[in-house]
């Protein structure tokens, strides 16, 4: 069998898109499993839409996800250059070749491909036999008047020149394939195998939109999604594990990948599902590893050593790294409270008795704090939930915190007593 060669072909026209990652993962798995090569080719001929820094964002985010490639603008290779803007002479030469054969013609400075009028069929590796009647392929521009190729022409010329064996791309390209196959015929070149997977859908079942949906890979990175979890989620959207597993690694995806297991219906990009998967990865992490990640993610001046003590309190409560700071900020930010902070008419009594109890607690550890406060609740006939809510509001200024007794251990006796005394003054 000829060498497997696939291509990832993003356009540097904005931020790195989750759709680019989704496409890259299918190509990556297919090629890596079959010991093939992966080409990263930049489709950068739309100069008006090109965004500064977009090329670097593509490299950065694909690398973050663990997707590697063998040839590309950043790596070089035997089939370069890998930016289409650097291949204009080739496109112009190939367009002239078709004109000279009578298969294309000049039209107001542009070059149009002549409709061959033949039915076009192919066996799609995901969808089976697909046929388009010949009349559906109209004459179309292959080279614009400014000398730049159109998308349809450039991808075919490049796929031939770079010896691409398989084109694995979204179903939105099915309607483009007849044009591409017609061009392969015109060049007397054997076409690659085509496989069209389902494109990602938003909640309303429409295609993900840059303007409407959160599709920027950098945004997910900033919010504290783990690359392993995002990869797992994207793979799961378009492919089913043979053991129906929902949590699996990129290497496991590659090991088990087949095009036969690619789903045919459009998957919905469900952020709640992504949150669940990300939370699962967080809970599987070693505390020290998570503490180091949080230390890089939290904006406040924290330390890994402090976070190692706090991680066990929040590990089950967060689904992404950005969830941690709101839960932990009261450790380094003294809460601002007023009488309106407290919601229970017994709050003053809760604070007063907690102060008496905690001042005389001999050892400042969780067992002593639990035991001492439990006795106070029983002796005073306090409602347990209301009592601890008062302490939570006094110490953190918010209803939502990690377990409050464990938090008191980390805060330390002096700080706990100081905050309770401040709350007592507010309630006087």
In a domain, 249, yes or no: yes
Instruction: Say yes or no: 100 and 165 in one domain.
Output: yes
* Residues annotated as part of the active site: 210
CATH of the domain at 110: 3.40.50.620
CATH number, domain of 308, equals 1.10.1160.10
Maximum CA extent, the chain: 99
Question: Is position 154 within any domain?
Answer: yes
d(C-alpha 399, C-alpha 338), whole Å: 14
CA 333 to chain centre: 31
Question: Is there a contact between 156 and 190 (Cβ–Cβ < 8 Å)?
Answer: no
56 assigned to some structural domain: no
Report pLDDT for 49. 72
Task: State the Cα–Cα distance between residues 92 and 86, nearest whole angstrom.
Answer: 12
Determine, yes or no, domain membership for 40: no
The predicted structure's pLDDT at residue 211: 63
323 shares a domain with 353: no
In a domain, 76, yes or no: no
Q: Does residue 129 share a domain with residue 193?
A: yes
Task: Tell me how far apart the alpha carbons of residues 64 and 366 are, in angstroms, rounded to a whole number.
Answer: 40
DSSP type of residue 49? T
CA distances from 352 to 28, 328, 359, 390, 391 (A): 63, 25, 11, 11, 11
Give residue 13's pLDDT: 78
Q: How is the chain split among helix, strand and coil, in percent rounded to 5?
A: 50, 10, 35
In the 3-class helix/strand/coil scheme, how is 375-414 assigned residue by residue?
HHHHHHCCCHHHHHHHHHHHHHCCCCCCCHHHHHHHHCHH
* 178 and 254 share one domain: no
396 and 312 co-located in one domain: no
Of 286, 304, 327, the last residue of a domain is 327
Q: Which domain holds residue 139?
A: 87-197
Burial of 215 (0-12, 13-18, 19+ CB in 10 A): buried
* 91 and 172 inside one domain: yes
Whether residue 229 is contained in a domain is answered as: yes
CATH number of the domain that residue 357 is part of: 1.10.10.350
Q: Are 258 and 350 part of one and the same domain?
A: no
Domain boundary among 139, 166, 197: 197
Task: Per residue of the chain (428 residues), give pLDDT as tens.
Answer: 589 999 999 998 777 788 899 999 999 999 999 999 999 999 998 777 767 888 999 999 999 999 999 999 999 999 999 999 999 999 999 999 999 999 999 999 999 999 888 999 999 999 999 999 988 889 999 999 999 999 999 999 999 999 999 999 999 999 999 999 999 999 999 999 999 999 888 877 777 766 666 778 888 999 999 999 999 999 999 999 999 999 999 999 999 999 999 988 878 889 999 999 999 999 999 999 999 999 999 999 999 999 999 999 999 999 999 999 999 999 999 999 999 999 889 999 999 999 999 999 989 999 999 999 999 999 999 999 999 999 999 999 999 999 999 999 999 999 999 999 999 999 88
Among 197, 228, 255, residue at a domain's last position: 197
In a domain, 280, yes or no: yes
What is the model's pLDDT at position 53? 84
Q: Do 193 and 228 fall within a single domain?
A: no
Number of domains, the chain: 3
Q: How far apart are CA 180 and CA 156, in angstroms?
A: 6
3-class secondary-structure state, position 238: helix
Domain-embedded: residue 333: no
Contacts of residue 151, Cβ cutoff 8 Å, sequence gap at least 6:
43, 45, 176
Residues 269 and 312 in one domain: yes
Q: What pLDDT is recorded for position 354? A: 97
């Amino acid at each position: 069998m000829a060498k497997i060669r696939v291509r990832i072909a993003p356009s540097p026209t904005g931020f790195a898109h989750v759709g680019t990652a989704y496409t890259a993962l299918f190509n990556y798995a297919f090629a890596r499993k079959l010991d093939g090569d992966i080409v990263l080719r930049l489709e950068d001929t739309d100069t008006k839409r090109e965004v500064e820094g977009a090329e670097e964002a593509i490299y950065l985010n694909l690398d973050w996800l663990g997707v590697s490639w063998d040839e590309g603008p950043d790596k070089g290779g035997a089939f370069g250059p890998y930016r289409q803007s650097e291949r204009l002479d080739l496109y112009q030469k190939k367009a002239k070749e078709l004109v000279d054969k009578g298969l294309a013609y000049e039209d107001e400075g542009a070059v149009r491909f002549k409709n061959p009028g033949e039915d076009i069929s192919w066996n799609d590796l995901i969808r089976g036999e697909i046929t388009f009647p010949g009349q559906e392929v109209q004459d179309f521009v292959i080279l614009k008047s400014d000398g730049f190729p159109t998308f349809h022409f450039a991808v075919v010329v490049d796929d031939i020149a770079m010896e691409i064996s398989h084109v694995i791309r979204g179903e939105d390209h099915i309607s483009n394939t007849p044009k591409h196959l017609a061009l392969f015929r015109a060049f007397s070149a054997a076409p690659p195998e085509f496989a069209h997977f389902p494109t990602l859908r938003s909640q309303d079942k429409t295609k993900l939109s840059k303007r409407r949906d959160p599709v920027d890979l950098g945004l997910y990175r900033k919010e504290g999604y783990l690359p392993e979890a995002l990869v797992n989620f994207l793979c799961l959207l378009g492919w089913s594990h043979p053991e129906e597993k929902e949590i699996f690694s990129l290497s496991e995806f590659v090991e088990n990948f087949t095009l036969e297991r690619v789903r045919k219906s459009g998957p919905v990009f469900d952020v709640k599902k992504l949150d669940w998967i990300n939370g699962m990865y967080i809970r599987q992490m070693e505390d020290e590893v998570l503490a180091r990640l949080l230390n890089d993610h939290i904006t406040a001046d924290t330390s890994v050593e402090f976070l190692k003590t706090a991680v066990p309190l929040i590990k089950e409560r967060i689904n992404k790294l950005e969830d941690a700071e709101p839960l932990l900020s009261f450790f380094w930010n003294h809460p601002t409270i007023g009488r309106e902070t407290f919601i229970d008419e017994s709050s003053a009594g809760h604070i007063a008795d907690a102060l008496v109890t905690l001042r005389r607690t001999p050892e400042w550890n969780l067992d002593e704090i639990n035991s001492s406060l439990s006795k106070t609740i029983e002796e005073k006939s306090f409602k347990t939930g209301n009592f601890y809510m008062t302490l939570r509001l006094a110490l953190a200024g918010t209803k939502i915190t990690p377990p409050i007794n464990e938090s008191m251990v980390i805060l330390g006796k002096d700080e706990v007593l100081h905050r309770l005394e401040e709350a007592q003054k507010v309630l006087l």
